[in-house]
Amino acid sequence: MTARTGLVLDKLFARHDTAPGHPERPERCLALVEYLEREGLADKCRTVAPERAVLADVACVHTPQYLERLKRACAEGEPYIDTPDSSICKESFEIALYAAGSAMRCVDLVMAGEIENAFALVRPPGHHAEAGCSMGFCLLNNIALCAQRLLARWGLTRVLIVDFDVHHGNGTQHLFEADPRVLFFSMHGHPNSFYPGTGYEHERGLEAGSGTTINCPMLPGFGDDEYRRAFYEVLIPAAESFQPEFVLVSAGFDAHQDDWISRIALDDSSYEWLSRGIVSLAQRWARGRVVSLLEGGYNLDALCRCAAIHLRELLAAQSAA
């Protein structure tokens, strides 16, 4: 049987080098490559080779001033852009273009019917990046670029973004908060206690996009029960009325209890039901179309195990469809 799950998994993404001691480090990519190959999962997928986005592809989300600034900062060997969190090296702009381009390639392959779903294990991550600046380890907003491509190139009118990274996807929310064609659903640490300090329940979208932003903030110590409630009592009914044509996932694994960056207590089994739930939601409304992009996840063991769990659920969708 031809593989129907695409996978972007490549050591190229380790070439975005961050400062010593930075949590979003090249080893995340290297550990994932080693683990998923050793588990035999990479072989079960269709390899999607890294593809570089052209500037026009990323200029539909980011301002020309920011792109120029980012390109120059990298070329000149600046240690970071905008905030010390967003550590860069000379190659970071190039690798960020590859991350965005590879993610968009997955979207194109799914829309063309060549694969059913895909997981792009790219870095740098993207969901904090705003139109005109970097934030929180993120340079280009990969998930927003995918959503924009689905709207502009593929003519879709109902795209669901599920963001389960422990940090609120402020960039993604801001880019689509006035756009009723994108339903942004996020479960994340409460803004009173967690970076980046946005994602309150009352942030529900603006103007025509009013109601198509849904935030489910989680207090320190929350875990599986609260996530299940948000998923089944908030997301599922919202998806039912929105009827998404495509599901994009900002897949961060930093809400895991073993991840020192958060105080949220999900475990491996949480990522299993969550991934299965997203796949089944996509099968019900979006012909199984899912593209997941890696965001956070800083405990390498938990990251590898949970990314594998997520990938297994994407692979299982093929036989269940």
- Considering the complex, what minimum distance in angstroms separates the CB of residue 162 from Zn ion? 14
Q: Among residues 119 and 253, whose Cβ is nearest to Zn ion?
A: 253
Place of tokens 């009592």: 233
Q: Contact between 149 and Zn ion (CB under 5 A)?
A: no
Contacting range for Zn ion; rule: CB under 5 A; set: 215-223, 254-262, 269-277, 278-286: 254-262
Select from 246, 242, 316 the least CA-distant residue to 282: 246
Active site annotation includes 128: yes
Q: Among residues 205 and 252, whose Cβ is nearest to Zn ion?
A: 252
What's the CA gap between 157 and 27, in Å, rounded?
A: 38
Q: Among residues 159 and 264, whose Cβ is nearest to Zn ion?
A: 264
Label residue 221 exposed, middle or buried (CB < 10 Å: 0-12, 13-18, 19+): exposed
Pair of tokens at residue 62: 């980011």
Q: Among residues 85 and 116, whose Cβ is nearest to Zn ion?
A: 85
Q: Contact between 165 and Zn ion (CB under 5 A)?
A: yes
Name residue 165's amino acid: D
Side-chain half-sphere of 297: how many Cα atoms within 13 Å?
A: 32
What's the CA gap between 210 and 115, in Å, rounded?
A: 33
Q: Among residues 255 and 286, whose Cβ is nearest to Zn ion?
A: 255
Pair of tokens at residue 119: 């997981």
173: DSSP letter = H
What's the CA gap between 176 and 206, in Å, rounded?
A: 9
Q: Contact between 254 and Zn ion (CB under 5 A)?
A: yes
Q: Contact between 169 and Zn ion (CB under 5 A)?
A: no
**Residues with Cβ < 8 Å from 183, sequence gap 6 or more?**
158, 159, 160, 161, 212, 213, 214, 238, 239, 242, 244
Q: Contact between 310 and Zn ion (CB under 5 A)?
A: no
- Among residues 167, 174, 190, 256, which is the contact residue for Zn ion, using CB under 5 A? 167
- Among residues 101, 126, 252, 288, which is the contact residue for Zn ion, using CB under 5 A? 252
Q: Contact between 128 and Zn ion (CB under 5 A)?
A: no
- By rule CB under 5 A, what string of x and - marks binding of each residue 260-299 to Zn ion? ------------------------------------x---
Residues that are catalytic: 128
Binding site for Zn ion (CB under 5 A): 165, 167, 252, 254, 296
